[in-house]
Structures are given as C-alpha cells and as structure tokens.
Amino acid sequence: MIVQTTPGFDPTNALNVNEKALPIVLSFPQENQAQGVTIVTKAVRVQRAVYFYKYGRSGRETAPLKGAIFAVRRAGAYLTTAQRWLQTKSPLADHRVLKMHSQADGLVMLKGVPLAPGSYVVQELKAPKGYALTRQAQQIRLSIPRADTMAQITVNGVALRPLLADRVQRGEASRTELRIYNPIKAVPPKTPGGNGPGPRLTHYWGHLPQTGEAKASLALLGSLIIGFTVYYWKRHLRQGRECNK
C-alpha cells in the first residue's frame, strides 16, 4: 500500500495545500514476478474544506434554507475574492468580500481557498427572507489545523470529514451538529383594515364591536327603546286619567 504522508505545497501563497491522494493498494502475482507489475489507478482527491448546513426552524419543525449569505472574518477583516483580507463596515454590499451562499439542501461550503492554520469566524451576513438573523449565526467558529497533521477542520468544535472527489461524504448532511439554524420571524397580527383578521376589539365607546357583540348591542338597545316607550305610554295614560277626574 502506498500512502501519501505529506500534502502538496502552494508556492504562490506559501501555504500547505490541504489535499492528499487516497492510498493505493498493489497486488503482486505469485508467479512470473520478473515480468513486472502494471498499476492502473483511479485518481481521487482527498481534500479538506469548510462546510456546514443552514436550516430554518419554526417550533419543532426544521428544513434546509437556500439563499443565506456568509463571509469569513479574521481580526475584524473579511476574506476577499482575491484571497486577501479587507476591513470594511459593509461586508454584504462590498463586492470585494468573498461570499458563500447556502444551497437548496442547506449546504454552505468553502473549498479551493487556502487558509493559513488558525482561528476564524464565519459570519452570516443575510438570512433568507422571512427568517431572523441570530447572534449565533454571526459567530460561527472555524479552526484550520496544519495540513501536515492528522487534525481535521472544525466548525463550532465539530470535526469535518474531508471531501472525496470534491464532494461532501455521504451522511454528513444528517449530522445535526453541523446545522446552523435561523428561527422564522414572528408575523405581527394585521390591522382590521388589512387582509387578515386583527385582534379582538372592545365593544365599548370609541371602538367597533365584533359581529356577535354587535347583535348583543342591538338587542340591548331595542329592549331599552321598548322599555322607555312602554314607560312613557303608561305615564301618559295616567296623566290623562288624572285630568279627567
């Protein structure tokens, strides 16, 4: 078995490349070894990359979210598309800042960008429409170990398995510890003039009654009118009798 123990080197950025080849297993024939051995391999890369999953939450229900925007930050500066560091007060609007977007399955990934060993922060710059941007989503801890060690990249302390052939390994999407959640925004109740039902209104003075309250109010008003009518009619009859006497 042939194993690559030392990763490659990027002379441009003077960084170790987080890539290694898969081990190659050789099988020698028992006879005619003098004829030599032919090795045919399939090139597969083992590559370390940064990834996690963006999910939305409403009560106990969760689902992947598409369209969240992230950036990598270190000591107040943001990683740019030119793989430099830029201090800006508007990372979302600044086109120079490297943006990562969550996909339909919630996957957010940064690969092919060499990061020096150390600690970083992945910051969510914009949540999908209808979801709240939380403090936890703006402080995602990222740790990059040295490439010549067996240590793995971690996100919020959770170790990431390396990519195989530029793809996240099967089963990673089901790891709930790799999910960053956004709660759904609370929708305030609409006003009575809006499209939806508003809060119940008091039927006292200065307020409009609801349908049931209006019927009760009209019934009460009708009873009062009838009562006053009967009272004045009886009083009028009594006064007329006294006059006749």
Over 219-234, what HEC string results? Answer: HHHHHHHHHHHHHHHH
Residue 214 within any structural domain of the chain: no
pTM, entire model: 0.62
| Residue 33 three-state SS | helix
The 10 Å Cβ neighbour count of residue 243 is 7
> In the chain, how many domains are there?
1
pLDDT of amino acid 159: 94
Strands (E), 118-210: 118-126, 140-144, 154-155, 158-159, 163-164, 179-183
Rg (CA), the chain: 36
Residue 144 within any structural domain of the chain: yes
Per-residue b or e along 40-65, where b marks 16 or more CB atoms closer than 10 Å to that residue's CB: eeeeeebbbbbbbbbbbbeeeeeebb
- The answer, yes or no, to whether residue 162 has pLDDT greater than 70, is yes
Contacts of 206 (CB under 8 A, 6+ apart): none
Residue 134 within any structural domain of the chain: yes
Residue 232 within any structural domain of the chain: no
CA 112/CA 91 separation, integer angstroms: 21
Residue 40 within any structural domain of the chain: no
pLDDT of amino acid 211: 47
Whether the Cβ atoms of residue 134 and residue 182 lie closer than 8 Å to each other: yes
* Confidence band, pLDDT 50/70/90 cuts, at residue 113: confident
* Confidence band, pLDDT 50/70/90 cuts, at residue 133: very high
Q: What number of helices (H) and strands (E) belong to the chain?
A: 1, 17
Q: Tell me, what CATH number does 161's domain have?
A: 2.60.40.10
Residue 198 within any structural domain of the chain: no
Q: Mean pLDDT for the chain? A: 79
Residue 150 within any structural domain of the chain: yes
Q: Select from 144, 162, 141, 140 the least CA-distant residue to 153.
A: 144
Paired sense of beta strands 107-110 and 50-58, if any: antiparallel
- The answer, yes or no, to whether residue 78 has pLDDT greater than 90, is yes
- The answer, yes or no, to whether residue 237 has pLDDT greater than 50, is yes
* Enclosing domain of residue 113: 49-183
Q: Quote the percentage of the chain above a pLDDT of 70.
A: 65
Residue 116 within any structural domain of the chain: yes
- The answer, yes or no, to whether residue 68 has pLDDT greater than 90, is yes
